[in-house]
Amino acid sequence: MKRIDDSFVFRGIEFKNRLIASPISINLSNLDGTVSDEDISYYGSIAKSGVSYVTVGATALSVSGHSTSRGLRCHSTNYLKGFEKLNKEIKKHANSCIQVFHAGQQINPEHTGFPPVGSSEYVVPDIGVNARVLSIDEIENIEEEFVSGISRLFDVGFDFVEIHAAHGYLLNGFISPHMNRRKDKYGGSEENRFRILKNIINGLEKLDHNYLSRLNLRLSASDFISGGLSENDLSSWKTQLSLEKLAIITASMGIYESAKMKPLAMKEGRYRESGRLIKGLLPNNMVVSQGGIRWPEYARKILEEDNVDLIGLGQALIADNNWASKALMVADDTIIKCTECGRCRYIKRKQLDFDCVRPEAFHSRDSKWTKRKLAKNSSRGGTK
Ligand SMILES: Cc1cc2nc3c(=O)[nH]c(=O)nc-3n(C[C@H](O)[C@H](O)[C@H](O)COP(=O)(O)O)c2cc1C
């Protein structure tokens, strides 16, 4: 039976337990997308929390592929120094992973100064700007940016790189029949809709066949929209992309258009069910269960009952960055629980400085960033 405190070796990398930090974009990079001191402070403090592995939030590999004004970018070698520093900081305490993406049809030009682009014309209701359809040359260029960008990040020393193909961003927007209405070789049939991601994976394998054994995928198990992706498509992800060659697979759900469905689906256990289904399809990959996991007791139950390998923690770690070490010591009742206020999501959407209603809990007090936050909060009368 799997337990949260199991240690093991996977693909030559030691995992000290089965708790991992899910990707969280904090919108605190420098304005040009380079890694800031705040990024290093945040991800470093999460690494200290006791988890075995930390995923840096969605990082764009194209100059215009980010989704927030201060989103991380890594589209040129000039950016690598910062990522090297960030990776080193995480690796003092945990294994490192970085998630890469292109925001595609969901880019908000007001936030990034770049237009939304994608497989097809598509308007996110909250953004209201029609996406420009990418030409075949542009798609091939983006494929190349993913391949060279991922290769650079492996060279920097990240243990794993995760491709983000969920949440309605560019790759999800090609694979989903709801968002992709193309009539050429990148649209229509299942084979065509998966082509862009397949080309990226094949391109990486050609460059270095070892890359795939450290390549992770976050896929969309459901768009929550009729005519979009659903759990019935999970076996297509496996066969179209030969997922057994990759390392760690995570299911997430929802696109911006259907974002309100996410909390409900988590409560109903659909995220958990997707993890279980993927593990059934891919017994030799590491499979993550994530979404709404707030209590160690629930994490332990998932590992016992679902046969998945890793527990992904997002907001639980924002609210209490000692969550993992407390859970490992079975000091569950000392955990500061996420209040489910949604503030961290809201401020990301509104392009505000990332924080939590519990700043006293979520960063080590000695970090520069926490000190600044606490000072700011106390001058505003504090947040309780
Ligand atoms: C502030 C915030 C930022 C997030 N950033 C990312 C991201 O960069 N990439 C991603 O795949 N998911 C992102 N997510 C989703 C989380 O990784 C996770 O799937 C989701 O919050 C559900 O898990 P949880 O209940 O443990 O938080 C973000 C969530 C929040 C709240």
| Closest-CA residue to 249 (of 260, 259, 241, 261) | 241
User: In this structure, what token pair is assigned to residue 308?
Assistant: 């998945």
Angle between the 195-207 and 136-156 helix axes, to the nearest 10 degrees?
Answer: 40
Alpha-carbon gap, residue 252 to 281, rounded angstroms: 16
CA of 23 to the centre of ligand 1 (A): 6
pLDDT for the residue numbered 359: 61
First-to-last C-alpha distance (Å) of the chain = 40
Q: Give residue 362's pLDDT.
A: 53
Q: What φ, ψ does residue 55 adopt, rounded to 5°?
A: -105, 120
State residue 300 phi and psi, 5-degree precision. Answer: -65, -40
All domains of the chain, ordered by start, with CATH? 8-379 (3.20.20.70)
Q: How far is CA 244 from the centre of its chain?
A: 20
pLDDT at 104: 98
CA of 232 to the centre of ligand 1 (A): 23
Q: What angle do CA 87, 89, 90 make, to 5 degrees?
A: 65
Backbone angles phi, psi at 92, to 5 degrees: -65, -25
- Please enumerate in sequence order all residues whose Cβ is within 8 A of that of 49, keeping only pairs 6 or more positions apart, or say none: 21, 317, 321, 322, 323, 324, 325
Q: Under a CB-based contact definition with an 8 Å cutoff, are residues 142 and 133 in contact?
A: no
Residues of the chain with pLDDT under 70: 358-384
- What does the alpha-carbon distance between residue 245 and residue 238 come to, in Å, rounded to a whole number? 10
Q: Whose CA is nearest to atom 11 of ligand 1?
A: 23
Q: What is the pLDDT of residue 355?
A: 78
Give the tokens for residue 330.
Answer: 């079975």
Tell me the three state secondary structure of residue 239.
helix
How remote is the CA of residue 52 from the centroid of ligand 1, in Å?
Answer: 18
Residue type at 346 in one-letter notation: Y
Whether 61 contacts 75, CB under 8 Å: yes
pLDDT tens string 224-261: 999 999 999 999 999 999 999 999 999 999 999 999 99
Closest residue by Cα to residue 150 from 74, 57, 87, 252: 74
Q: How far apart are CA 41 and CA 236, in angstroms?
A: 39
Which residues are within 8 A (CB) of 234 and not within 5 positions of it... i.e. 6 or more apart?
Answer: 219, 221, 251, 274, 277, 278, 281
Task: State residue 383's pLDDT score.
Answer: 35
What is the CA(283)–ligand 1 centre distance, in A?
25
Strand partners, 54: 21, 96
Residues 6+ apart with CB under 8 A from 117: 64, 104, 105, 107, 131, 132, 133, 134, 138, 170
The tokens for 12 are: 């030559």
- 359 Cβ neighbours under 8 A, 6+ residues apart: 370, 373, 374, 377, 383
Specify the pLDDT at position 365.
46
Q: What does the pLDDT look like over 143-178, one tens digit per residue?
A: 999 999 999 999 999 999 999 999 999 999 999 999
d(CA 303, CA 7): 14
Does the pTM surpass 0.85? The reply is yes
What confidence score (pLDDT) does residue 344 get?
86
Which atom of ligand 1 is nearest to 218's Cα?
Answer: 11
Q: Give the pocket of ligand 1 (CB within 6 Å).
A: 22-25, 57-58, 99, 164, 167, 218, 252, 290-293, 313-316, 344-345, 348
pLDDT of residue 36: 95
Quote the ligand 1 centre to 199 CA distance (angstroms).
Answer: 26
Half-sphere exposure of 304 (CA within 13 A, CB side): 6
Strands (E), 102-247: 117-118, 132-133, 160-165, 215-222
